Structure 1
Amino acid sequence: MSALAFFDMLEGAREAGTSRLSAAAVAEIFELQQQELAALAGVHRNTLRTHPESPKLQVALRDLMRLLSAASEDHEDLPRALFLIKNEPIPAFHHKTLIQLVGVGRAEDAIGYLESVRSGFSG
């Protein structure tokens, strides 16, 4: 995916009239149910609707978009990048997926993994 296409997607994930991400838009991009996104962010499902400004929620949404940005550098095809983020078990992380790493607060490790693979080193 080109940088411009990702920027357009990121802008589409913005909550109108604010500087924060929309939980509904990010859930749609990642094809997640609201409850799945809430669990991933470690917040109650009602938080997505009643307190979208929640710092914990916004950190998780930003981490997901950062992960998608990193994955997009290697995969021009958005559905393929999303499939790998959500489904590819990573042996170095006890066979957790990249999205599971984000859910346990390890977004930096997930992004670092993608960067190491891109540079030719994965171990």
Structure 2
Amino acid sequence: MVSTAFSDVLESVREVGTSRFSAANVAHVMGLQFQDLAELAKVHRNTLRTHPESPRLQSALRDLMRVLSAAAAVQPDPQRAIFLIKNEPIPAFRHKTLLQLVQEGRTEDAIAYLESISAGFVG
């Protein structure tokens, strides 16, 4: 079940009047610089502003929100869930963070890890 706090976060990152994510809002919520978000999405920094509909950018933003959704099941407080994604080194992944896994294109691994944690397994 998706928490109310996560659904509020999800709505806050939507680009008003569209069905896509706002890169600026995602960067703000996640506490990321535009350059860092662009690197995560593997797009030029200007793409965030000039081509927010870019399929590559939207896919990366969607992956980030998927990981945040999975993290919300482990840590319902959105700020703590974001901290977990950005900062907690995971021994099972050579001490990389979940954000680093997403940047490497390993979103499914990040989500599987979070689902195992929420089920009671320790990674």
Same fold (TM over 0.5): yes
Counterpart check, 1:72 vs 2:69: no
* Partner secondary structure for residue 70 of structure 1: helix
Equivalent in the alignment of 1:49: 49
The answer to whether the 8 A contact 2:74-2:117 is kept is: no
* Partner secondary structure for residue 38 of structure 2: helix
Equivalent in the alignment of 1:3: 3
Counterpart check, 1:88 vs 2:105: no
Aligned-pair CA distance for 1:32: 0.3
The answer to whether the 8 A contact 1:12-1:25 is kept is: yes
The structure 1 segments of at least 4 consecutive aligned residues displaced by more than 6 Å after TM superposition are: none
Counting aligned pairs with the same residue, the percent is 68
Q: Deviations over 1:27-85 (max 9, x none)?
A: 01100000010011111000001111111100110111111111111212222111111
User: Following the alignment from structure 1 to structure 2, what is the Cα–Cα distance between the partners of residues 4 and 34?
Assistant: 27
The answer to whether the 8 A contact 2:23-2:52 is kept is: yes
The answer to whether the 8 A contact 2:5-2:76 is kept is: no
Equivalent in the alignment of 1:26: 26
**Residue type at the aligned position of 2:33:** Q
Q: TM (normalized to structure 1)? A: 0.93
**Residue type at the aligned position of 2:65:** M
The answer to whether the 8 A contact 1:113-1:122 is kept is: no
Count of equivalent residues: 122
Unaligned runs of 5+ in 1: none
* Partner secondary structure for residue 32 of structure 2: coil
